[in-house]
Structure 1
Amino acid sequence: MLADLLTSYQAADPAEAADLDRVRSLLAATDDPWTRAIPLHVTASALIVHPPTARILLRWHERQRAWLQVGGHGDPGETDPVAVALREGAEETGLPDLAPWPSGAVVHVVIVPVNAKGDEPAHEHADVRFVLATATPDAARPEQPDAPLRWLTVAEALEATTEPNLRETINRVAHLLHTT
């Protein structure tokens, strides 16, 4: 499923092309690119948007100490990155009506380093990113008290995060918000 989504995906710049090549190599080298047992594994995430107001929902990630998009690891047996992003988005925001927007197309592929924590060694996430939309932004509820949510304009979202790869994703989503 992931290989199919990435077959026609075109990287936007040389850095993304290098990451995309690594993800394609990972897919060719393993039967389960989602397993956390390997140092580079696939994750799926999404920026949640409310198209009528062109706002973006960001979630505070305590471990990274940053405002980021929703998403994460696939559960055992999950292989559809859109389904993973939808599940993670619903779990982390409580939004009942999330749907791929404006389509289920990949919006960004990026490899993100993850620092060691506890028994978990440092590793990398091959993050495949999508855009999800809601028609009920006021229904958003944080998954837990230390993971607040914030609806932000594009400019506010860019100001809230210092992660260059997320800033790139936000800029891509901004283009979609203003052209659809």
Structure 2
Amino acid sequence: MQVSTPPRLDGAPPDVGRGMTEIDFDDFYHAHFRVLTVQLCAYTGDLAQAQDLAQEAFCRAYARWSKVVQYDDPVAWVRRVAWNLAASRWRRLRTARAYLRRQREEHVPGPGPDRVMLTAALAKLPENQRRAVVMHHLADMTVAEIARQEGVAEGTVKSWLHRGRTTLATLLRERNEQPEESRD
């Protein structure tokens, strides 16, 4: 009495699986290469890469065919190898990109004209006024915090801020009124 093999769910011919011989690898390859390539293409988004991955997975299966052919589902083994290869490629690409970013000099655009003008004007302020203005307006520190840090009364900090802002306003106004050619 001969028992017929039920059809497989993955669409493979009934003779794929246990009991295949080495001669059957060619049939196995032709029966499953296209389906695996389509799956990998959907996974990677690149047909050429999917074909390479499928080809590499089948090459690895061929090298171990006497063992792989004994598995319940050799196609699942080949698919898993192909997915692992895809993940490995992505990890290598990510590592390579990170390495290149670390090696490459980052080009940051220079400061704009307003920033240059403000920096030049701040440099002309007395040191205590400059520190007070920077801490208050750029570091968002309160008058009390600045006074505590500088070891002075809050009224002194308020005075520094008032004088610093007045001087900055004058310097920036003068700078804006100058013709382009005569600016430093």
TM-score normalised according to structure 2 size: 0.19
> More relative contact order in 1 or in 2 (CA 8 Å, sep 6+)?
1
Greater helix content? 2
Which has the higher Rg, Structure 1 or Structure 2?
Answer: 2
